[in-house]
Every structure is written in structure tokens, then in C-alpha cells.
Amino acid sequence: MGTVLYPDGRYNQSDMRKRILLTCVVSAALLVLQALTAACSARQDKAFAAVIEQWQQENAARWEANMASLTVSDGTLTMKFSYTVFGDKPDDGRSLYISMHGGGNTAASVNDSQWENQKRLYKPDEGVYVCPRAPWNDWDMWFKPPMDRLLEELIQTLAYTLDVNPDKVYLMGYSAGGDGVWRLAPRLADHFAAASMMAGHPGDVGLLNVRNLPFTIWVGGDDAAYNRNREVALRGRELDSLSRSDPEGYIHETHVLEGYPHWMDLKDAAAVPWMAQFRRNPYPEKIVWRQEEVLRDAFYWIEVPHAQARRGMTVIASRNGNVIDIARCDYPEITICLNRKMIDMSKKVTVRYQGRELFRGKLKPSAATARQTLVDRGDPAYMFESRIRLEVE
């Protein structure tokens, strides 16, 4: 603050006192505003915590019944599972490893034996090691459309009953289970912290969606059935290319084990500690989402109308503070889902599509929106207090 003088150079004490008083008033007002904002935020936190608690109470009986029967259901199909708990529970909750068995289009007894074998394969230092039994005996038993809902129910059940941290859920599978990882990891990338594919065939799956999902792939160098070894190597090079073009995404490792056939003698068990180093980020700063064969209407913090979705349709969006940029959107409509973990709710939000401004304004948190998104997604991380629905065309 500079010295205040009269025109003749004398010291102006009156104006100085006024300026000091004004500064004190402004400072006090800012402190009051901060206190009011903090109080409002605390009330909202309490309201949203109550939403989660109510949702858990509404579903608790079903989840407890799932654990008692060691099954989960989507209302039509039932999937059995077994589990083993390793290590002490960390302060932030247990890890969860979902490990899918081999087999496929064969007798139920063969798939049962593969399930029993899978239960013994891997032993994480910490976490819940879960082996579901595929509800079909078919070549695509791990990636038929109902599998998405079954896995969601499995994660919810174990999060509630065994205090699994939903940000520490890992997907893995061997042979036919590896086929499942190829398909499920991209279309459910927002559900997992990392994934590992062992000895599976990728088919025609796309890998754009694993930008924010650390992904390791393993195959024996001599595993020539269905050209697995060559196909996995090709997909490894595809991931290399994606990582070069987008260096902040597509964390991956490719392991083609020279001299090993379909069975890799548990060399692939190194994937378990590799995955364990990662945590899911439910709110990545950039999303690349391509619809796969099972259509989804939400991915991370983006929603699209299910009726408009077709395989191959793509969204590329990024966020920086309170500014969201949509680089590509193949849908006529899109919804941006936001919460205070992602943005400053006290400031305006701007959404742009290819540089053109679609929205600018402040958002009003809504407990009703929080509840609806929690019910829709079944994951507290995807409880959003505000949504912006936009027409892109």
C-alpha cells in the first residue's frame, strides 16, 4: 500500500485510515465467505454420504445373501464364485483380483476342473482372490452381454461384505479366461485398476478404451493354436503405437515367452504384483471411448443415449480444471457428469466441442442427481452431483 499524500505533499492520515478500514472489512468478508462455503460443502458432504448409506442399506440384504450362497445373479443368470483372502487388510480397504478360468466350448465337467485349477494358480500378497465359475460352457463364456452386470454385482458384493476398495479391483484370466480379459478390459475399463491377459486370443477387439487401464499381456512363444502367439505379439505392438501417440496413456507390458507353449509354468504370475502397483482413477483427465460389441451407455464421466449407440462409435474428451473439451463425439447427444472431486463447483464450467463453446455456467449440486447416478452406476466413485446434457450436432 503506497503512502497517501495531499497535493501539497502532506501526509493524509484520514484517507490512510479509510483504506486500512476497507482492507480489514474486505478481509473479514472473505473469511466469512470462506466459512460459509466450508459449511455449505460440509452439509453437502453429509447429504451425499447419506445417499451412499441409504443405497447400501437398500442392497445390503442381497449382497449378504450373495456371500452366503457364493453366487451372484443378474435376475436371470446365476454365477458361482469362490474366494480366498490373503494378507492383512490395509487402511484403504482390500484389493480384489477377479481371476477367470479356462475351458470353453466343452463339457461342464471340463470347465469345472478348469475352475478348480484357477483357484490355485495365483496368490497375491494382499487382497481377495476371487474365481468365478462362468455360467455357460461356451467359447465366449466370459464375454457374453450378461457378464458385465454379473461382474458389477460381484464387485459390489465384495466391496460391501469384505471391505474391498473399488479402486483396487484387478481383472485377470487364463486361456478362455484370457479371451474374456481381451473383451472385458476395454469395455469395462472404468471398473478396474489394471488387467492381465494370459494365453488368450484377442479376436477383433479394439484397444482404444484401455488408455487409462494399465494392461499386461502374456503368451507362450510356442502357443501357436489359433495363432495366439502371433496375435498377442501384434496387439502388443498396437499398444506400443497407441502409447507413442498418447504418451500419458496406455501403460502396458507385452510378454511373449520364448520356448513356452500354452502353459507358461506360472511365469505369468509376475503380473499380480505388477497390477498391484496401480489404483483406478475414476476421473481421468482424458477419455477415449469406442463402443465394443456389448453396448454401454456410460464410461468414466461420460454418458450417451443407449438407443443411439452402435459398435465403433467414439468419444474423445478431456478436462482441465473447469474446462471440458470434446475432440470427437459420434453421437448427437452427450452428457458430462461432474462432482467436486473433478471441478471447483463454485466457479463456472465451460464445455467446448472442437473449439466451439456449447456450455458456460455454474452448476448446482443435486442430491437427486447424486442418487440417480449412484443407482445407475452402482459405484460410489461414479456418484455425480451435476450433469450437463448437450446436443453436439
* Residue owning grid cell 472431486: 341
For each of the domains in the chain, give its residue range(s) and CATH number, in order of start: 61-276 (3.40.50.1820), 284-391 (no CATH)
pLDDT tens-digit readout, 133-165: 999 999 999 999 999 999 999 999 999 999 999
Average pLDDT, the chain: 93
Average pLDDT, stretch 363-373?
95
Residue 385's pLDDT band (cuts 50, 70, 90): very high
Q: Quote the strand ranges of the chain, DSSP E.
A: 71-73, 78-86, 94-100, 127-133, 164-174, 194-198, 215-220, 252-257, 286-290, 298-299, 302-303, 314-320, 323-329, 333-338, 349-353, 356-361, 386-391
**Residue 338's pLDDT band (boundaries 50, 70, 90)?**
very high
The set of cell numbers assigned to 379 is 459405484
**3-class SS letters over 364-388:** CCCHHHHHHHHHHHCCHHHCCCEEE
- The string of pLDDT tens digits covering residues 80-108 is 999 999 999 999 999 999 999 999 999 99
pTM of the predicted model as reported, rounded to 2 decimal places:
0.90
22-35, pLDDT tens digit by residue? Answer: 666 666 665 654 55
